[in-house]
Structure 1
Amino acid sequence: MNVDEQIYPWLAEQWAHLVEQNAKGRLPHALLLSGPAGVGKAAFGAALAHLLLCHQPLEGKPCGRCRSCELIASGHHPDRLFLRPEEPGKPIRVDQVRELTNILHSTAQQGGYRIMIMDPAEAMNVAAANALLKTLEEPGQDTLLILVCHQLGQLMPTIRSRCQRMEFSLPSPDQSRGWLAQQLDLNEDEAEKLLAIAQGAPLGAVSLKQGELLDLRRNFMSGLADVLRDRTDAISLAQKLHKEELIHLLDWWLSLLADLVRLQSGAPNPDLNNVDMTKMLSAVANRADRVRIFTLVDRVQDERKSLMLRHNPNRQLLLEKLLFDWRALIR
């Protein structure tokens, strides 16, 4: 299996369950893989698709040698379909769903299963979800729909009720820390700090370390600190950041605010996510009114929900308003 179709150690139990279901001929026609981002749900779904499409699986694993495995290795298996937003943050549209579900109802080119993997399923707009319902209600023979969902509350109840749901959770801190340290050649203290920033999601921690997200987070946190110190203003920082992926910024903001609540609780040695921002957090926690913190939490959550529902706000104005509220915490 390649990196895009792995069964991570903390998912072994779920994998064994599905392999057993398949061996008994009891797989459903639709699987909903739900849980926090960064735990390996999409790789799990891709691995299952590979197993089901393989012509000669061996002991719950694809053979890697048959024509179907060769097609998957090339990235062009005609009976394995992927449905994603055309751009990050954009919805999955009804015409995308209709195009792929039409293929699902045709004859499998390699025989056996036809499989569609949708990621993230909550990106469907209402029309797309209604179009998918028709396929969920009348699936074709040897058809499997795998829905990968990071925000279950954003998925229509009628979609959820027609799928067999598998719940994925964060692995234990010990398991994540050891795995991450080995993957990224880190010591366990470094791995623990990175995991805290990624809120316990091991693959999220890998993305932070290997991509550009760590630099974006660093710039965002630095900007928030500069706003508090009057080294920059809300409008200037919003202009600098408004073209970035806002979901990441809002998630990091919520994580900071949660740390402020922990600090103000008075508990000894609070377990902070943003350990690299302890100095700023302590200064804000000592001066900020708790009601204002919770009010800002609500506002950030509302803006995040609006983005997830595919509303199209004025991104710069959104950031400006939140940054003014952020600055007001210590006034």
Structure 2
Amino acid sequence: MSDELWQDHPVVLPWLKERWQYLCDLKRQGRLPHALMINGPKGIGKACFALATANYLLCKSPKDDAACGHCRSCELAQSSGHPDLYHLQPDEPGKPIKVDQVRELTEFIYSTAQQGGYRVVIIDPAESMNVNAANALLKMLEEPGKDTVLLLITHRSGQVMPTIKSRCQRVDCVAPDGEMATQWLATQLTMDSQDAEQLLRIAHNSPLQALAYKQQDYLGLRSKVLAGLADILKNRRSALDVAQTLHKEDLDLILGWLYGLVNDIARLAAGQEDTELLRHKDVQNMLLAVSRRADPQRLFAFADEIHEARKLVMFRLNPNKQLLLEKLLHGWQGLR
């Protein structure tokens, strides 16, 4: 799944306005650093924030703390692409950024800006750089070209090399509070606030991820996963059969849902009867049934197992998806 919806749209979402004002103040005061690390959870708009920052820096006539939208630089950004803006991303989603990709930056970094202003590089996500790529970037951070700004987007700053982090000024972005996120999502999707709130829970309170769930039919995939889990519990299908139907799907999403379901079951098993707090409230009957039968030790051991599987995916260690799913679905079966 894409880390950020709207990543091609230079929009500063309402909950990031304070961070935006901070950057604009730095630029006005002539204190803008050459490298910024835009850090925060997935799905809150960091990619579009970075693009808005790039357009603002490249604009020839910024007005009211925003790109004017009319100058030659803005026209280039809106059409064919700005020659002084460089996007560095993995060749494929989930793959690392390689050293050769970073080396290709060298000519851009140390050349003269074609439009006579800033040169801007957006690296997304920064934690996807392998060790060699990060070391190659380190040299550029130590001796950046004149009027060059690097914007490093990261969802997991702990995975970025300390030497990289030490040469960047952090711009920490936080998710909106529940009320703001619910109101925004309800407006975007023209739905009532109760449905928006439930969708946000499923999407781990990430508004853009919730939007993607609806617009890119991740809810359809979730329904497929939930149906498979219910079939396993009721002996209608085997764990092997369900794994075979899911192994080509987005493993990161599936593991996130499975982990959330097990946490909900653990809450219910511990006697927390307020179902309003459940992340997956729409399947509370299944969760309640499992919570009444599951052995607490087995439940927490299974949660740890899912967490370790998520780390394999997070660190791009390329596990065998079908075997991993088979193992976890057998663990789910053991909760009956």
TM class by smaller structure: over 0.9
Q: Matched residues in 2 for 1:49 and 1:75: separation?
A: 15
Q: Matched residues in 2 for 1:226 and 1:25: separation?
A: 61
CA contact (8 A) 2:89 2:124 kept: yes
Q: Matched residues in 1 for 2:124 and 2:283: separation?
A: 32
Q: TM-score, normalised by structure 2?
A: 0.95
Q: Matched residues in 1 for 2:47 and 2:106: separation?
A: 20
Residue in structure 1 matched with residue 23 of structure 2 by the alignment:
18
Q: 1:279 aligns with which of 285, 291, 295?
A: 285
CA contact (8 A) 2:7 2:48 kept: no
CA deviation digits over 1:306-328, x for unaligned, max 9? 22222122111111111111111
How far off its partner does 1:160 sit?
1.7
Residue in structure 2 matched with residue 36 of structure 1 by the alignment:
41
Q: Is 239-248 or 94-103 further displaced after alignment?
A: 94-103
Residue in structure 1 matched with residue 227 of structure 2 by the alignment:
222
Residue in structure 2 matched with residue 138 of structure 1 by the alignment:
143
Residue in structure 1 matched with residue 335 of structure 2 by the alignment:
329
**Runs of 4+ displaced beyond 3 Å:** none
Residue in structure 2 matched with residue 256 of structure 1 by the alignment:
261
How far off its partner does 1:2 sit?
9.6
Q: Structure 2 counterpart of 1:292, which letter? A: R
How far off its partner does 1:148 sit?
0.9
Q: Is 49-58 or 216-225 further displaced after alignment?
A: 216-225
Q: Which runs of 5+ in 2 are unaligned?
A: 1-5
Q: 1:171 aligns with which of 156, 171, 176?
A: 176
How far off its partner does 1:261 sit?
2.1
Identity fraction in percent? 51
How far off its partner does 1:118 sit?
1.2
Q: 2:306 aligns with which of 277, 292, 300?
A: 300
Residue in structure 1 matched with residue 95 of structure 2 by the alignment:
90
Cα 1:50–1:319 change in 2 (3 A) is: same
Match of 1:166, SS state, is strand
CA deviation digits over 1:252-272, x for unaligned, max 9? 111112212222232241511
- 1:173-252 equivalent positions in 2, closer than 5 A: 173-252=178-257
Q: Matched residues in 1 for 2:245 and 2:53: separation?
A: 42
CA contact (8 A) 2:127 2:159 kept: yes
Q: Matched residues in 2 for 1:3 and 1:116: separation?
A: 14
CA contact (8 A) 2:7 2:47 kept: no
Q: TM-score, normalised by structure 1?
A: 0.96
Q: Matched residues in 2 for 1:170 and 1:264: separation?
A: 29
Q: Which runs of 5+ in 1 are unaligned?
A: none
How far off its partner does 1:288 sit?
1.0
Q: Structure 2 counterpart of 1:162, which letter? A: R
